[in-house]
Structure 1
Amino acid sequence: METIFGLDYPTLWFLIVGGLFSGYAILDGFDFGAGAWHLFFNKEESRRIALNAVGPVWDGNEVWLVIGGGALFAGFPEMYATLFSSMYVPFMLFLVFIIFRAVSIEFRSKEEMKWWRKSWDIAYSISSIMLPFLLGVVLGNVLQGLPLDKDFHYVGGPFFEFLNPYSLMVGVTTLALMMTHGAIYLLLKTEGRLYAKLTILLRSGIIFFIISFT
């Protein structure tokens, strides 16, 4: 078997795909975490500062997901087909929430009305909570194992079968991890009263993560 840098092709693609998805989880993780805390900020100024902190980078971080999906298709086409067909509903929900999140960030500042900004704030925060949760649910099912036949076709039940206790706990743990990550990122970008509040939120996030992880 041909090798590159002493690695066979499956191993090389595994490292590439793993690196890309890890990069996405790390770099977009603090975006999701920052958004999950958004409704905990009561003042308009605090919410604006939090949005400005992720504003320059949130859309660029999505590139990691696109490249990761392309690398998965190139390196492991059967896994790509099986994963996306068997988890069609979770991935479609993920797509819906990622669109709503992007629209919320862009549209929030278009009008000055309180109800307008409040509506987009809610959409932004809910989307930022659901995205890491859905990623965790998918990861939990992959770690637990999917029911496949000899041709790698999914033979499990409908969407609700994905919501088993193990995958739900992985989803909650993923959310807790990214909320902690987001609080740390915002701490680096803020000062004053908002910094003090984020310190408290960070402690809550760490406790949330420890409880969900254990």
Structure 2
Amino acid sequence: MTANLIAVVLLLAVAAYACAGGTDYGAGFWDLTAGGAERGKRPRWLIDHAMAPVWEVNNVWLIFVFIIMWTGFPTLFQTVFSAMWLPLALAAIGMVLRGAGFALRKPARRLARRRIFGAVFAVASLLTPFFLGAAVGGIASGRVAPGTEASAEAWSNPTSVLFGLLTVASTAFLAAVFLARDALRFGAPDLVGYFRLRALGSLAVVVVLGLAALAVTHGDAPYMWNGLTGGLGLAFVVLAAVCAAATVWLLLRASGAWSRITAVGVVAAAVIAWGAAQRPYLIPTSLTVAEAAGAPTTLRWLGVVTLVAVLLIGPAVVLLYWLDTHGELEPLTDADLQRSAPGRGGTADGD
């Protein structure tokens, strides 16, 4: 019972990272496709301002996923990271490079350096989610098992490739929806339609790739196919479809209010559908939740630590997201700094 509960927590943490971290990766995708320096100036300006307050905190979810994996399910952790170390290593390198590129491109004074750092950020934002999705596809297709040696087949099979492409498209969809709302908040009406159109287009790509992935699993990952076309897995697939339809309807409205909620619902429901379809396996047909679970005492303490983290860290993260989406974390402008700068021989205004 404890192992099943921790497995549910792991799945929810993966869904949280897919939604929060996915939005950041998708912003990098739109940065990459924004065009040249002049054409892409406005979209990149919005991306920088929208991402700046929260881009680092989203990796908290990934750290949480790793902690639960290696503590609660050590066999799963060892199996996945042994069999698919290459795509996961490439994803890790991508995370480092995109973070460095995003942090360094704005303060860089030379245009050539800003372009290099911007290109690193954008390309890494595309490749990182692809490799993460490919690894998930390897798990879903059951190509890894305890004792499996590393091979390209584990993450370059049809299911993995489609899962990787679907992950990239999903991040682009999430980011476009969030950026369309951010354009309203930042008073950039020209970018509202710009990102709404991209949100609708990327959602169409998500639907097409989702259907293609579902069709491929029929022959390439039959256990996953059965789970997605019946029972709890099918229920979450239907929920994802309902959220997708609601997102389209909301994006076509003038305000687009609540579109972020439904967009997150699409991705979260899809991730949970994947987890539900694999029950009772963590790796289909080779490793069940019970077989992968750590010692009962470890699981109990992991549950306690998780509860403490939810109570202490959860509210802070939620507050940060709320402050960001309501425009309460705007950076200081040059005018703000000039108004607060101390005068010659005096103190700052208001002192």
| TM-score past 0.5 threshold | yes
Matches within 5 A, 1:124-203: 124-148=121-145, 152-155=146-149, 158-159=151-152, 161-190=154-183, 191-203=188-200
How far has the Cα of 1:203 moved from its partner?
A: 2.2
Quick check: 1:27 aligned with 2:10?
A: no
**Structure 2 residue 61 is matched with structure 1 residue 64:** yes
Select 1:118's aligned residue among 108, 115, 136: 115
Please give the per-residue CA displacement for 1:8-37, whole angstroms capped at 9, x wherever unaligned.
Answer: 111111011111111111111111111111
CA drift of 1:162 comes to 2.0
User: Is the contact made by 2:83 and 2:151 (CA closer than 8 Å) also made in structure 1?
Assistant: no
Deviations 1:159-214 (A, max 9, x none): 35521122101111111111101100111111321222112211221222122122
Are 2:13 and 1:16 aligned? no
Compare relative contact order (CA 8 Å, sep 6+) and give the higher one, 1 or 2: 1
1:54-94 Cα offsets, whole Å, 9 max, x none, are 11111101011011100111111111111111111111101
Look up the equivalent residue of 1:166 and give its one-letter code.
T
Q: Displacement of 1:48 after TM fit?
A: 2.2
Do the aligned partners of 2:83 and 2:154 also contact (CA within 8 Å) in 1?
Answer: no
Higher gyration radius (CA): 2
The total of aligned residue pairs comes to: 203
Matched, 1:81 2:78: yes
Gapped runs of 5+ residues in structure 2? Answer: 212-351
RMSD: 1.5
Q: Is the aligned partner of 1:208 residue 2:231?
A: no
Equivalent-residue separation in structure 2 for 1:38 and 1:192 (angstroms): 18
**Is contact 2:23–2:172 with CA below 8 Å preserved after alignment?**
yes
Equivalent-residue separation in structure 2 for 1:112 and 1:48 (angstroms): 16
Q: Is residue 2:50 matched to residue 1:53?
A: yes
User: CA contact under 8 A between 2:47 and 2:179: conserved in structure 1?
Assistant: yes
- Cα distance in 2, alignment partners of residues 129 and 147 from structure 1: 25
Equivalent AA in structure 2 for residue 80 of structure 1: F
Q: Once the two structures are aligned, what percentage of the paired residues are identical?
A: 23
Partner residue of 2:41?
Answer: 44
User: What is the alpha-carbon distance in structure 2 between the residues aligned to residue 45 and residue 169 of structure 1?
Assistant: 32
Contact 2:80 2:144 in 1 (8 A): no
Tell me which protein shows more helix as a share of its residues: 1
Alpha-carbon distance in 1 for matches of 2:197, 2:33? 11
Unaligned stretches of 5+ in structure 1?
1-7
The residue identity in structure 1 corresponding to 2:77 is Y
Tell whether the 8 Å contact from 2:32 to 2:119 is kept in structure 1 after alignment.
yes
